[in-house]
Amino acid sequence: MSITGPSVRAQLDLFRSIPGDIAPRDAQDLMAWPFFSLAKSRRIHPIDFRMGETWILVEATAEHGMATIWDADVLIWAASQIVEARDAGRPTSRLIAATPHEILAFTERGTGKASYERLKAALDRLQSTTVATSIRQPSQRRRHRFSWINEWKERLDGAGRPLGIEMIVPDWFYAGVLDQALVLTIDRAYFSLTGGLERWLYRIVRKHGGRQGGGWSFDVSHLHLKSGALSPLKRFAFELRGIVHRQPLPGYVLVLERAYGRERLNFTPIPIDPFEAAMRRVGFKAVDK
């Protein structure tokens, strides 16, 4: 399925990805709201989320299933590329060309054939998943509908070997990324998180907790609602306690407290040296002293 017609594609300048190490950036809207499946198993059931004047409807196809939080790594890569180019004064575009190796290396995946096939499956899910939302619309009654990738294609040489891929990201995503206030730098260790819930939790903690000394907190029931997860609250709370026990989120300490019959998750940033933080953002690990 292609949402962007040839005439639209022809109007877009091609933006070629920037090679080398760049800081990973994430779109704040994607960090704060339930846009992705947190399960590795195929999800068809839609996410129908409503909170106040904010509403989100995410729908999947039976063929590919819903885009997952691991698939969203492609969007983190795209956001990082767009912001890096913008900050360097280079022109950007919704039409992005790259090699699979660049995306896989950035997201710390393997770069062999199996990883390339998984990347293509992720692109298919991102392209076939549709989103309708009121977020960033001038009127809450207005609906913006899009796919995470409008279309994508492989470029092959004469022997059928892959030369690279091209993708078109939606204008809703692109506009949010170009606004500096709507993008946050994330810790590269995020890509090492293996669980869907802990990945989602890191993003929401990074979005709301930031580097505030006092941190932030949420009722567990509120977190469950914001996750869009299909698991019941009891199971969600059980998995959350496991994450608190393991403390896997880079840069944050998690604490669960119970008061007045309700569980609440508190998260505070771990103070780190500014130089060490800069090194971690570009993929260097601190040396033990």
Digits of tens for pLDDT over the chain (289 positions)?
444 555 566 688 999 999 888 999 999 999 999 999 999 999 999 999 999 889 999 999 999 999 999 999 999 999 999 999 999 999 999 999 999 999 999 999 988 889 999 999 999 999 999 999 999 886 655 678 999 999 999 988 788 777 799 999 999 999 999 988 899 999 999 999 999 999 999 999 999 876 666 678 999 999 999 999 999 999 999 999 999 999 999 999 999 998 778 899 999 998 766 666 566 556 555 444 3
> Is residue 213, in this structure, part of any structural domain at all?
yes
Residue with tokens 């000394």: 213
> Is residue 197, in this structure, part of any structural domain at all?
yes
Structure pTM? 0.88
CB 176 within 8 A of CB 156: no
> Is residue 288, in this structure, part of any structural domain at all?
no
Query: Given this model, what pLDDT does residue 8 score?
Result: 64
* Residues pairing with 262 in the sheet: 259
Judgement on whether residues 173 and 212 belong to the same structural domain of the protein: no
Q: In terms of DSSP bridges, do strands 47-51 and 144-147 run parallel, antiparallel, or are they unpaired?
A: unpaired
∠ Cα 274 278 282 (to 5°): 165
Instruction: Choose the final residue of a domain: 142, 157, 185.
Output: 185
Instruction: Choose the final residue of a domain: 132, 159, 185.
Output: 185
CB 129 within 8 A of CB 69: no
Query: Given this model, what pLDDT does residue 211 score?
Result: 62
Distances (CA, A) of 213 to 130, 216, 263, 267: 38, 9, 22, 10
Query: Given this model, what pLDDT does residue 289 score?
Result: 37
Judgement on whether residues 242 and 168 belong to the same structural domain of the protein: no
Please give the tally of structural domains in the chain. Answer: 2
Query: Given this model, what pLDDT does residue 285 score?
Result: 52
Residues 6+ apart with CB under 8 A from 263: 219, 220, 221, 237, 256, 257
Judgement on whether residues 107 and 178 belong to the same structural domain of the protein: yes
Q: What's the CA gap between 51 and 49, in Å, rounded?
A: 7
Judgement on whether residues 113 and 245 belong to the same structural domain of the protein: no
Q: What's the CA gap between 202 and 223, in Å, rounded?
A: 12
Judgement on whether residues 26 and 13 belong to the same structural domain of the protein: yes
* Count of other CB atoms within 10 angstroms of residue 41: 8
Domain containing 208 — which CATH number? 1.10.10
Judgement on whether residues 238 and 164 belong to the same structural domain of the protein: no
Helices (H), the chain: 6-11, 28-32, 73-87, 100-106, 113-128, 171-178, 196-209, 220-227, 233-246, 274-281
Judgement on whether residues 12 and 95 belong to the same structural domain of the protein: yes
CB 196 within 8 A of CB 37: yes
**Domain interval for residue 140:** 6-185
Judgement on whether residues 163 and 210 belong to the same structural domain of the protein: no
∠ Cα 157 14 69 (to 5°): 85
Instruction: Choose the final residue of a domain: 185, 203, 225.
Output: 185
Cα torsion 264, 236, 64, 6 to 10°: value is -10
> Is residue 1, in this structure, part of any structural domain at all?
no
Query: Given this model, what pLDDT does residue 110 score?
Result: 87
CB 34 within 8 A of CB 227: yes
Angle between helices 113-128 and 73-87 (to 10 degrees): 90
Judgement on whether residues 150 and 26 belong to the same structural domain of the protein: yes
> Is residue 286, in this structure, part of any structural domain at all?
no
